[in-house]
């Protein structure tokens, strides 16, 4: 009796299953593609060096290389417990901002507004929105930023407003 037949069951020789995974999962690319990628990388490296030589080096301005941190005042830090962030709350965090290594703070609109669209519908560019504080609060914040070597940029939405007669359309 054959040793491969036991109790009526015949052992079939195992047939290897085909490998259906794509070639890149098996560890290789077609050689023509890899050569093309290598040539492309070499050309890019060579041309980028030539481009860098063509332009003279210059000192970059702070806004070209420094990190700018955007603050939406309404949700940043509340200093008086009314649930709305304000300029005094930002002033409390100037040391933290300075320690982050940023170069400037970009403040979202803080100007007087009816708050139809969360401050972007400015009604008077000459005044600070009362929920954020006063012009004196802004002056204190500006001085703190200067002492810590930080610049301040205001989000100034010109030609936008909901109340001023010069900014109404239609």
The string of DSSP codes covering 70-89 is EE-HHHH--SSSSSS--HHH
With cut-offs at 50, 70 and 90, classify the pLDDT of residue 23: low
Over residues 116-145, the pLDDT tens digits come to 877 778 888 888 999 999 999 999 999 999
CB-based contacts of 5, cutoff 8 Å, min separation 6: 11
The answer to whether the pTM exceeds 0.75 is no
Q: How far apart are CA 132 and CA 123, in angstroms?
A: 15
Q: How far apart are CA 77 and CA 88, in angstroms?
A: 8
* Residue ranges in the chain assigned as alpha helix (H): 31-54, 62-65, 73-76, 87-92, 94-99, 135-147
Q: What percentage of residues in the chain have a pLDDT greater than 70?
A: 69
Least confident stretch, 30-39, 52-61, 64-73: 52-61
Indicate whether 89 pLDDT > 80: yes
pLDDT at 67: 92
Phi-psi region of 7 (alpha: psi -120 to 50; beta: other; left: phi over 0): left
């Amino acid at each position: 009796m054959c040793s491969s037949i036991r109790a009526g069951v015949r052992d079939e020789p195992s047939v290897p299953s085909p490998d259906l995974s794509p070639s890149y999962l098996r560890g290789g690319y077609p050689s023509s593609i890899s050569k093309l990628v290598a040539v492309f990388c070499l050309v890019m490296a060579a041309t980028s060096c030539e481009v860098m030589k063509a332009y003279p080096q210059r000192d970059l301005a702070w806004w070209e290389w420094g990190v700018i941190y955007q603050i939406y005042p309404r949700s940043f830090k509340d200093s008086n417990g009314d649930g709305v962030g304000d300029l005094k709350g930002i002033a409390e965090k100037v040391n933290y901002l300075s320690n982050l290594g940023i170069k400037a703070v970009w403040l979202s609109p803080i100007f007087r507004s009816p708050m139809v669209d969360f401050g972007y519908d400015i009604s008077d560019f000459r005044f600070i929105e009362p929920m954020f504080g006063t012009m004196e609060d802004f002056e204190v914040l500006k001085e703190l930023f200067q002492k810590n070597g930080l610049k301040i940029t205001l989000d100034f939405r010109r030609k936008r407003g909901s109340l001023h007669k010069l900014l109404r359309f239609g």
